[in-house]
């Protein structure tokens, strides 16, 4: 297992749109949104992901706070520059396994895990140098909200699917062996009753405390070399006090202490409101 030191990076955008109110923790590296070309959204996203990749490459152990899941392309590409083989732990209410061929909405951030596993050829150019992660090296936790075609694609794949449960995640990671892991969390995996203002709420699910336990278990079990938290709140909610509290709790579960505009995680009182 890696030590508890993280290099915090913030990419304050969703797909190709800026999020001006995105919280920037003290000491974090904020990736400045580059000037984007006119043209297709994937090409604009690729420019953003290149900027994120540059920041990730400079970090010893990157923890990326982003506004969507697709930015994971940059983090995994950066991790692959240091390690030949990489595994992925993906905690999300959604599968993010749609592709342009099966998506009913065309929502690109809903294809993020499909991107990592090489299922979206031609959507982006290869400037990031991202190599497809084998299905057998991917653990998908929860994914309770799937489109029908997406469900079929996951069933036909070799992706390991587990509940958002610390023991199940520990066992799945243990079967992968000693390989560097990218840990990805979309905050909407948390029970909708505890996550007001989510872009794509998914109803009942694991509590915030359960997700904290999952993150801690993953870090205790696997060699987590990079991580990403998709802060998938609506723009008008992304800087709420409850949002900032949730972010600090999740990062603390990964072993990263941070402060956002004076709000600091308090491990002694964080769970009192939900009875843990």
Per-domain residue ranges of the chain: 7-264
Angle at 45 between CA 161 and CA 159, to 5 degrees: 10
Amino acid 139: pLDDT:
98
Cβ burial of 181 (10 Å; 0-12, 13-18, 19+) is buried
Amino acid 259: pLDDT:
76
Amino acid 215: pLDDT:
98
Question: Comparing C-alpha atoms, which of 245, 270, 269 is closest to residue 259?
Answer: 245
Amino acid 191: pLDDT:
97
The Cα 89–Cα 140 span in angstroms is 6
Assess contact for 43 and 37: CB atoms under 8 A: yes
> Strands, E, within the chain: which ranges?
7-11, 13-14, 17-18, 29-30, 62-66, 87-94, 138-145, 160-162, 180-186, 223-230, 259-260, 263-264
Q: What number of other Cβ atoms are within 10 A of residue 182's Cβ?
A: 27
Compute the Cα dihedral for 93, 96, 102, 105 and give only its sign.
Answer: positive
- Contacts of range 236-242, beta carbons closer than 8 Å, 24 or more positions apart: 236/21, 236/197, 237/196, 237/197, 237/198, 238/19, 238/21, 238/22, 238/23, 238/67, 238/197, 239/21, 239/22, 239/23, 240/196, 240/197, 242/196
Amino acid 258: pLDDT:
78
CA distances from 143 to 6, 127, 189 (A): 27, 30, 8
The fold of 7-264 is 3.40.800
pLDDT tens sequence for the chain (276 residues): 555 689 999 999 999 999 999 999 999 999 999 999 999 999 999 999 999 999 999 999 999 999 999 999 999 999 999 999 999 999 999 999 999 999 999 999 999 999 999 999 999 998 999 999 999 999 999 999 999 999 999 999 999 999 999 999 999 999 999 999 999 999 999 999 999 999 999 999 999 999 999 999 999 999 999 999 999 999 999 999 999 999 999 999 999 987 765 444 444 334 433 433
Angle at 139 between CA 99 and CA 23, to 5 degrees: 75
Amino acid 265: pLDDT:
45
Amino acid 257: pLDDT:
81
Q: Which two tokens stand for residue 21?
A: 């109110």
Q: Which two tokens stand for residue 36?
A: 């984007």
């Amino acid at each position: 297992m890696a030590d508890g030191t993280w290099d915090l990076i913030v990419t304050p955008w969703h797909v190709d749109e800026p999020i001006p109110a995105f919280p920037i923790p003290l000491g974090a590296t904020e990736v400045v949104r580059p000037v984007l070309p006119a043209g297709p959204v994937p090409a604009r996203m690729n420019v953003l992901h290149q900027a994120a990749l540059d920041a990730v490459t400079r970090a010893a152990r990157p923890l990326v706070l982003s506004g969507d899941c697709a930015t994971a392309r940059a983090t995994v590409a950066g991790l692959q520059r240091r390690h030949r083989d990489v595994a992925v732990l993906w905690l999300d209410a959604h599968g993010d396994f749609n592709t342009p061929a099966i998506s009913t909405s065309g929502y690109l951030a809903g294809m993020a895990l499909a991107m990592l596993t090489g299922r979206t050829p031609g959507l982006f150019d290869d400037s990031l140098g991202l190599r497809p992660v084998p299905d057998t090296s991917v653990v998908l936790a929860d994914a309770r909200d799937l489109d029908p075609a997406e469900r079929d694609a996951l069933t036909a794949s070799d992706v390991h699917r587990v509940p958002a449960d610390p023991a199940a995640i520990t066992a799945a990671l243990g079967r992968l062996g000693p390989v560097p892991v990218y840990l990805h969390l979309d905050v909407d995996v948390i029970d909708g009753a505890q996550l007001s203002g989510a872009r794509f709420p998914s109803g009942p699910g694991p509590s915030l405390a359960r997700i904290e336990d999952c993150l801690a278990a993953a870090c205790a079990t696997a060699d987590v070399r990079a991580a990403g938290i998709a802060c998938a709140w609506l723009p008008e909610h992304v800087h709420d006090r409850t949002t900032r509290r949730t972010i600090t709790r999740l990062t603390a579960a990964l072993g990263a202490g941070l402060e956002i505009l004076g709000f600091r995680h308090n491990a002694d009182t964080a769970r009192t409101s939900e009875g843990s």
